[in-house]
Amino acid sequence: MKLFSFPAAALEKAIHKRILSLPPEHREWFAERWQQKPYKKSFIENKAMPLVTLVAKGKTWDDETFTQGLAEWDVTFYEAEAEVLRPLVEGDGLIQLMQKNLPPERAQALLARLQVRRPTGNPTAATD
């Protein structure tokens, strides 16, 4: 889903800032992985950037296009990853202007999408 060009460096900076405010168990888990270049690149390309695109384009897309874009974003999240990304939907920091005028039902759909968990025995991953 390469429909929106958002500066990756700015997104990385926002994620790094968010890591500092995570609860200790999530901060430790995420920071350890964030230090690894392949994980960082994959996280930005497959999870963070598509979320930013859905937030930015979600204001103007019709319902069918938004639903299709959300369905095409085929990823699952660890709890710590969702904690890092949730503020991008809820109106924190860097992309606040993009979040303005995002219909509440679309914001809720994005937040619900962040609840999709990987099946794992990891205690920091939710198994709702």
pLDDT by residue (tens digit) across 80-100? 999 998 888 876 654 555 556
CB proximity list for 32: less than 8 A, separation 6 or greater: none
CA distance 1 to 4: 8
Reported as a single tens digit per residue, the pLDDT across 52-69 is: 888 888 888 888 998 898
* Domain residue ranges in the chain: 8-113
Q: Up-side HSE of residue 68: CA atoms within 13 Å toward CB? A: 6
The helix or strand, by DSSP H or E, that contains position 112, with its residue range, turns out to be: helix 104-113
What's the pLDDT at 92?
A: 60
Cα 127 to Cα 1: distance, rounded to the nearest angstrom: 28
Percentage of the chain beyond pLDDT 90 is: 21
Q: What's the distance, CA 72 to chain centroid?
A: 14
Residue 100, pLDDT score:
62
Regarding pTM above 0.85, the answer is no
Q: What is the mean pLDDT of the chain?
A: 79
